[in-house]
Structure 1
Amino acid sequence: MSVLVVTGTGTEVGKTVVTAALAAVTAAGGWSVAALKPAQTGVAPGEPGDVHEVVRLAGDTVTGVELARFPDPLAPATAARRAGVSPVRPTEVAEAAAKLSAAHDVVLVEGAGGLLVRFDDEGSTLADVAALLRCRVLLVAQAGLGTLNTTALTAEALKARDVPCAGVVVGSWPHEPGLAEVCNLTDLPEAAGAPLLGVLPEGAGRMTPEAFRGAAPGWLAPELGGVWDAAGFVARQRG
């Protein structure tokens, strides 16, 4: 897992908090970690962005790097065009990740929005970054209704580009899950064509950094450095 791309089935699915949990668990294991955000949108100069949040939650031993920032809360290509500045290119992201990988054990690359959100007007996406890096992609999905379709579409897009999906993580598990959420625990791996590798509780990002770091291993499977047991979790949710 020297370089791992973290994408979502859409916006506001928990990518940043999942990235922070990955960083926290990896750093606690004694590995050096870097979090790379290719394009931050919707954040004004000087305001904390996703990288700041990852470092805040995971700890300041994590190296945070942001390549570009655009003020409008839009797709990176559109936001760059409106700002009148050059967009971020996949080659730039891959080069930055490779440079960080030379100095760190693990590099986490967090995308903006979903997998096929455009970085530039040529249609480049996070999938192109993953293909250049020849790395796996971790998919962060929602828990409830609609998640199976978006998960399957994202998985198909990865497969069409010969980019392996490392697994799927539920970014926000509700305190009181309904029938759809519980059933999706079984159906999500099938939709993704990859294992369920973790579930983060709703509100995890609002925990204190100390509590977050202490709890993070219990949210992620051993494949991601944690101790979370998928079969046990599913069994408990089914009651």
Structure 2
Amino acid sequence: MTVIVVSGTGTEIGKTVTTAAVAAVARAAGRSVAVLKPAQTGVASGDPGDVQEVLRLAGGDLTTHELARYPEPLAPDVAARRSGRAQVHPQEVADAATALAAEHDLVLVEGAGGLLVRLDDEGGTLADAARLLGAPVLVVVSAGLGSLNTTALTAEALRARGVRQLGPLVGSWPAVPDLASRCNLADLPKDAGTPLVGAIPEGAGALDGFDFRAAARSWLGPELGGTWDATSFAEREAPGTLVH
């Protein structure tokens, strides 16, 4: 895969840390990596954004590019409109990713919020950019209660657009998972229609870069170049059978 679109079932769900982990593993394998952020919201000009966090965690030998930045923490179309700045359109995202792919082994396109958050007043979304690119989408999901519904809705939206889902990945696996989180290990693949491809531990984003890069392969499945195994993870974390 030359381009992977990283989206999620909501905001503040672990997309940036997931992007950094995938980038770190690819870099360790000798691949050149670029990270594209189509629309950075809620960050003032000159302040560090998501791509700077990816650089901190994954290492400095990355190409990073933002297409637009808006100061208010809103959906990109609204944030652009309120700031008086130009909106980003799916074709621009696809063109930028294609240009980066011509010079890199892997391009990671990190979205803002969920899959169908609007980029522009025409209703363009990250899903539209993925369709234009013919790129798979890595869907970052939450671990606990409510995740099954949002995961199923995201999978349905991808299928309706003819976009392949690379798989769901838990963006923040709790140190002490509750019953819903543990049960979801079996049910998330059913709702996504594809197996889990990783689980990043809670607090991984607070690690320094060296420790983050050393551990990243253990959080990602073979589809993403890692060593994480869904079966053994579920056997260790999932609840036992209830006896009535």
SS at match of 2:36: strand
**Counterpart-to-counterpart distance in 2, 1:64 and 1:229:** 30
| Residue aligning to 1:80 | 80
Q: Which runs of 4+ in 1 moved over 2 A?
A: none
Q: Deviations over 1:39-61 (max 9, x none)?
A: 00000011100011011100111
| Residue aligning to 2:158 | 158
Where does the alignment leave 5 or more consecutive residues of structure 1 unmatched?
none
Shift of 1:238: 2.9
**Counterpart-to-counterpart distance in 1, 2:228 and 2:146:** 25
Shift of 1:195: 1.3
| Residue aligning to 1:136 | 136
Q: Does 1:68 align with 2:68?
A: yes
Shift of 1:86: 1.2
Shift of 1:85: 1.4
TM, length-normalised to structure 1: 0.99
**Counterpart-to-counterpart distance in 1, 2:139 and 2:232:** 21
Shift of 1:62: 1.3
Amino acid across the alignment from 1:152: A
| Residue aligning to 1:105 | 105
Amino acid across the alignment from 1:112: A
CA RMSD of aligned residues (A): 0.7
Q: Does 1:94 align with 2:94?
A: yes
| Residue aligning to 1:221 | 221
**Counterpart-to-counterpart distance in 2, 1:236 and 1:194:** 20
| Residue aligning to 1:147 | 147
SS at match of 1:20: helix
Q: Does 1:26 align with 2:26?
A: yes
Amino acid across the alignment from 2:148: L
| Residue aligning to 1:123 | 123
What percentage of residue pairs aligned between the two structures are identical? 65
**Counterpart-to-counterpart distance in 1, 2:27 and 2:189:** 27
Amino acid across the alignment from 1:65: H
**Counterpart-to-counterpart distance in 1, 2:176 and 2:226:** 24
Q: Deviations over 1:191-239 (max 9, x none)?
A: 1111100000000000010000000000000110000111011101136
Q: Deviations over 1:137-182 (max 9, x none)?
A: 0000000000000000000000000001010100001110011001
Q: Deviations over 1:30-82 (max 9, x none)?
A: 00000100000000011100011011100111111111000010000000000
**Counterpart-to-counterpart distance in 2, 1:227 and 1:210:** 18
Aligned 8 A contact 2:185 2:238 in 1: no
**Counterpart-to-counterpart distance in 2, 1:24 and 1:194:** 24
Where does the alignment leave 5 or more consecutive residues of structure 2 unmatched?
240-244
**Counterpart-to-counterpart distance in 2, 1:77 and 1:215:** 36
SS at match of 2:113: strand
TM, length-normalised to structure 2: 0.97
Q: Structure 2 matches for 1:173-188, cutoff 5 A? A: 173-188=173-188
Count matched residues. 239
**Counterpart-to-counterpart distance in 1, 2:171 and 2:147:** 11
SS at match of 2:198: strand
Amino acid across the alignment from 2:154: T
| Residue aligning to 2:2 | 2
Shift of 1:112: 0.2
| Residue aligning to 1:167 | 167
| Residue aligning to 2:242 | none
Q: Deviations over 1:18-37 (max 9, x none)?
A: 00000000000000000100
Q: Does 1:39 align with 2:39?
A: yes
Aligned 8 A contact 2:137 2:165 in 1: yes
**Counterpart-to-counterpart distance in 1, 2:220 and 2:134:** 23
